[in-house]
């Protein structure tokens, strides 16, 4: 690894504008923005994917590899990624820093605690919970209705036992009531951190978050609890983007960590803006498939920032195509060209959806050792047949050298793209919330209708009465299917999607729409990734990747 001061020097960042966390990691200072703000923006490249297998298909790896490839062909590129959550690291997916010859480093530090940003979000979130219950215990001057408390507690771990809890048991411990936990990456505090433009915007967004309702049906906010300033103190370092590097020494900004299935799934606005001022190309990713992360990137992040991608890279794999073509997940490494072709409908739909935003698409076929030449050629031929640029990505085996062809295609498309002129949103700002939800379901998922539970219908009416309809919707659903049913694979059509709850994230500036069996607190699988992990005597971490 290069010393972080040398990585920063590639971007023209002076040591005075770095706040080092050891030799290989640093935060960017607040003052740096003043020196770069007047520069022209580079090109924004968004990496997304088709619906994946449960093991994931290498979207982060492709993002890193593409960044390395762009730098190898003489383009000044920087990656902007989310921070890994301990939940997936210890759960199903393991680490989230790439692998093989396309990694960001120091991987163990990034995956495990990093610079403490997610812990700061956890602390700020739980401060609100503590002050809320203390306010009730100390006399409840705000007349908070204990049956209408919206604010759960948070922890950065998959722990299904905490989904529903009872608090206040025992003498002198406050009101006994039902409560629960969400994973920190689903917290509105995380969403606010990711979307805040600066410290003033952070304070404004935190203060307007809704925590409960009073007995007189009035919104109770963080400002009402007088917790805003203390939250800002806890988040004072977390709001600064983190600078690390790829395994080939290219700069990477890692900041913010909202999940894409239960939150908006993008790295921070601040990191994106810094990257666009510091490099010619910023390669960023949106979580899970394009039906989740990319849709939210376009309809939420682009809408709030006025930043638009010049090209979208859709990661596809032979394994995911066969999985969506009906092959069981433990058989996807076996050659099956008929099932592969059956999965093309899933990929085609993602390409069509990206184009609905006026953004060109390039397919990156992430190569695995089990892929056959015939299968790979089938995918390339299909992409050519439907008029979509495509290239193999061999980032895992070869790093940047394995993505040069992809990098050349992506750069060529990005250079010709007029992002601001071409881009279009899926729905209008002033459309009713119910119409926005139906538009996403029908246009992106290809569902036939939406069924709202009475709880969800009441919530929609209340939100529109309180704040109007001028906010985007953030769909919470399974990543494995276009529908709300994880086993309904391929390219289903005409299904009815059930919305069981709707929540206003007033600080983040969007409405969360919970569908199917989606939960804001995941559980660990039968064989958690934590079982593979150990610490060697020399301090080396084994089993994280």
Handedness of CA 120, 122, 123, 128 (dihedral sign): positive
The pLDDT score that the predictor gives to residue 95 is 85
Q: Where are the beta strands (DSSP E) in 63-207?
A: 77-81, 98-99, 102-105, 144-149, 153-155, 165-167, 177-179, 181-183
Q: Residue 369: CB partners within 8 Å, gap ≥ 6?
A: none
Backbone angles phi, psi at 239, to 5 degrees: -75, -10
Residue 447 DSSP label: -
What's CA 183's distance to the chain center, in Å?
14
Asked whether the bond before 378 is cis by omega within 30 degrees of 0, the reply is no
Q: In angstroms, rounded to a whole number, what is the distance separating the alpha carbons of residues 404 and 381?
A: 20
Location of structure tokens 């951190």: 193
Band of the pLDDT at 472, cuts 50, 70, 90? very high
DSSP states along 29-48: PTTHHHHHTTSPP-EEEEEE
Band of the pLDDT at 49, cuts 50, 70, 90? very high
Q: In angstroms, rounded to a whole number, what is the distance separating the alpha carbons of residues 79 and 65?
A: 10
Location of structure tokens 């490839």: 69
Burial bucket for residue 462 (CB in 10 Å: 0-12, 13-18, 19+):
middle
Query: Is the separation of the CB atoms in 182 and 154 below 8 Å?
Result: yes
What's CA 18's distance to the chain center, in Å?
26
Terminal-residue alpha carbon distance, the chain: 18
Note the pLDDT tens digit of each residue in 108-147: 999 999 999 999 999 999 999 999 999 999 999 999 999 9
Q: Residue 85: CB partners within 8 Å, gap ≥ 6?
A: 96, 118, 156, 183, 184, 185, 257, 259
Residue 331 DSSP label: G
Q: Where are the beta strands (DSSP E) in 95-176?
A: 98-99, 102-105, 144-149, 153-155, 165-167
Domains defined for the chain, CATH in brackets: 4-115+238-419 (3.40.50.300), 118-234 (3.30.1510.10), 433-515 (3.10.410.10)
Bridge partners, 504 (sequence order):
511
Q: In angstroms, rounded to a whole number, what is the distance separating the alpha carbons of residues 481 and 408?
A: 31
The pLDDT score that the predictor gives to residue 229 is 98
Q: Which two tokens stand for residue 454?
A: 């009475």
Q: Residue 335: CB partners within 8 Å, gap ≥ 6?
A: 372, 374, 375
Query: Is the separation of the CB atoms in 213 and 145 below 8 Å?
Result: yes
Q: In angstroms, rounded to a whole number, what is the distance separating the alpha carbons of residues 110 and 252?
A: 12
Nearest to 262, CA basis, from 522, 529, 528: 522
Give percent of the chain above pLDDT 70. 100
Q: What is the dihedral of CA 361, 68, 480, 328, to 10 degrees?
A: 110
Name the pTM for this structure. 0.96
Q: In angstroms, rounded to a whole number, what is the distance separating the alpha carbons of residues 291 and 324?
A: 14
Q: In angstroms, rounded to a whole number, what is the distance separating the alpha carbons of residues 99 and 544?
A: 10
Tell me which of 52-56, 245-249, 459-463 is least confident. 52-56
As separate numbers, helices (DSSP H) first and strands (DSSP E) second, the chain gives 22, 25
Location of structure tokens 């969360």: 512
Mean pLDDT of the chain: 96
Biggest CA pair distance of the chain: 72
Parallel, antiparallel, or unpaired for β 361-366 and 311-316? parallel
The pLDDT score that the predictor gives to residue 93 is 76
Note the pLDDT tens digit of each residue in 358-415: 999 999 999 999 999 999 999 999 999 999 999 999 999 999 999 999 999 999 999 9
Note the pLDDT tens digit of each residue in 236-294: 999 999 999 999 999 999 999 999 888 999 999 999 999 999 999 999 999 999 999 99
């Amino acid at each position: 690894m290069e010393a972080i001061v040398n990585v920063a020097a590639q971007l023209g960042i002076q040591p005075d504008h770095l706040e080092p966390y050891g030799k290989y990691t640093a935060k960017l200072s607040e003052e740096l923005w003043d020196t770069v703000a007047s520069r022209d923006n580079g090109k924004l490249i968004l990496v997304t994917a088709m619906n994946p297998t449960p093991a994931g298909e290498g979207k982060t790896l492709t993002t890193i590899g593409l960044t390395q490839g762009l730098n190898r062909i003489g383009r000044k590129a920087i990656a902007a990624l989310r921070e890994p959550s301990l939940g997936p690291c210890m759960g199903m997916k393991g680490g989230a820093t790439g692998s093989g010859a396309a990694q960001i480093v120091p991987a163990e530090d990034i995956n495990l605690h990093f610079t403490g940003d997610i812990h700061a979000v956890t602390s700020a979130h739980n401060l609100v919970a503590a002050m809320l219950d203390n306010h009730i215990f100390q006399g409840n001057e705000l007349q908070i209705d204990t049956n209408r408390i919206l604010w759960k507690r948070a922890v950065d771990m998959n722990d299904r036992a905490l989904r529903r809890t009872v608090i206040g048991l025992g003498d002198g411990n406050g009101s006994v009531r039902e409560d629960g936990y969400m994973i920190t990456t689903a917290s509105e505090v995380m969403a606010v951190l990711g979307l805040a433009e600066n410290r003033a915007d952070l304070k404004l967004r935190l203060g307007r978050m809704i925590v409960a309702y009073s007995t007189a049906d009035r919104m109770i906010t963080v400002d009402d609890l007088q917790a805003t300033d203390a939250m800002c103190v806890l988040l004072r370092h977390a709001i600064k983007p983190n600078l690390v590097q790829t395994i080939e020494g290219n700069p990477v900004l890692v900041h913010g960590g909202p999940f894409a299935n239960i939150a908006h799934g993008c790295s921070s606005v601040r990191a994106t803006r810094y990257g666009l001022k510091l490099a010619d190309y910023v390669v960023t990713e949106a979580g899970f498939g394009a039906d989740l992360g990319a849709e939210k990137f376009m309809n939420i992040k682009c809408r709030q920032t006025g930043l638009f991608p010049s090209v979208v890279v859709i990661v596809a794999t032979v394994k995911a195509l066969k999985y969506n073509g009906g092959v069981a997940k433990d058989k996807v490494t076996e050659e099956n060209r008929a099932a592969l072709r059956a999965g093309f409908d899933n990929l085609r739909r993602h390409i069509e959806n990206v184009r609905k935003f006026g953004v060109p698409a390039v397919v990156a076929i992430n190569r695995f050792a089990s892929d056959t030449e015939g299968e790979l050629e089938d995918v390339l031929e299909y992409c050519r047949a439907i008029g979509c640029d495509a290239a193999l990505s061999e980032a895992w085996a070869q790093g940047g050298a394995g993505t040069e062809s992809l990098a050349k295609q992506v750069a060529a498309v990005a250079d010709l793209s007029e992002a601001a002129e071409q881009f279009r949103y899926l729905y209008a700002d002033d459309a009713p919330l119910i119409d926005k939800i139906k538009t996403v379901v029908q246009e992106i998922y290809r569902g036939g209708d939406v069924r709202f539970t009475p709880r969800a219908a009441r919530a929609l009416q209340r939100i529109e009465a309180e704040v109007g309809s001028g906010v985007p919707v953030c769909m919470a659903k399974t990543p494995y299917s276009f529908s709300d049913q994880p086993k309904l694979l391929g390219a289903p059509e005409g299904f009815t999607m059930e919305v069981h709850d709707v929540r206003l994230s007033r600080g983040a500036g969007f409405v969360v729409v919970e569908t199917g069996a989606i939960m804001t607190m995941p559980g660990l699988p039968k064989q958690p990734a934590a079982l593979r992990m150990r610490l060697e005597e020399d301090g080396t971490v084994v089993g994280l990747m």
